Amino acid sequence: MEDSSIRKRKDMLNGSVDPSIGSNSQNSEEEVKTTALQKQVGLISGICLIVGTMIGSGIFISPKSVLASTGAVGPCLCIWAACGVLATLGALCYAELGTMITKSGGEYPYLMEAFGSMMAYLYSWTTIMVLKPSSFAIIALSFAEYAATPFYPGCTPPGLVIKCLAAASILLIVLVNCLSVKLASYVQNFFTAAKLFIILVIVVAGMVMLAQGKTKHLENAFEGTTTSVGDIGLAFYNGLWAYDGWNQLNYITEELKNPYRNLPLAIIIGIPLVSVCYVLVNIAYFSVMSPTEVLQSPAVAVTFGDRVLYPMSWMVPLFVVFSTFGAANGSCFTAGRLTFVAGREGHMVKILSYISLKRCTPSPALIFNGILAIFYILPADINTLINYFSFAQWAFYGLTALALIVMRFTMKDRKRPVKVPIVIAGLVVVVSVYLVLAPIIDKPELEYLYCTIFIFSGLIFYFPLVYYKFSWTRKIMRPITMHLQLLMEVVPPEKVE
177-221 pLDDT, tens digit per residue, is 999 999 999 999 999 999 999 999 999 999 999 999 888 888 888
Share in percent of the chain as helix, strand, coil (round to 5): 75, 0, 20
- Give the pLDDT confidence score for residue 11 in this predicted structure: 47
What pairing do the DSSP bridges indicate for beta strands 490-491 and 355-356?
A: antiparallel
CA 130 – CA 454 distance, rounded (Å): 10
- Give the pLDDT confidence score for residue 20 in this predicted structure: 39
Burial (0-12, 13-18, 19+ Cβ within 10 Å), 29: exposed
CA 376 – CA 141 distance, rounded (Å): 10
- Give the pLDDT confidence score for residue 29 in this predicted structure: 39
In total, the chain counts a number of residues equal to 497
Residues of the chain with pLDDT under 70: 1-34, 380-383, 386, 496-497
- Give the pLDDT confidence score for residue 497 in this predicted structure: 52
CA 353 – CA 491 distance, rounded (Å): 9
- Give the pLDDT confidence score for residue 383 in this predicted structure: 64
Q: Which ranges of 101-228 would DSSP assign to H, the alpha helix?
A: 107-115, 117-126, 132-148, 159-179, 181-211
CA 131 – CA 144 distance, rounded (Å): 20
Question: From residue 215, how far is each of 60, 173, 209 by CA, in Å?
Answer: 21, 42, 8
Burial (0-12, 13-18, 19+ Cβ within 10 Å), 24: exposed
Q: What is the separation of C-alpha 108 from the centre of its chain, rounded to a whole number of angstroms?
A: 14
Q: Are 315 and 326 in contact (CB under 8 A)?
A: no
- Give the pLDDT confidence score for residue 36 in this predicted structure: 74
Angle at 186 between CA 244 and CA 350, to 5 degrees: 70
CA-based end-to-end distance of the chain: 24
- Give the pLDDT confidence score for residue 264 in this predicted structure: 92
CA 266 – CA 47 distance, rounded (Å): 5
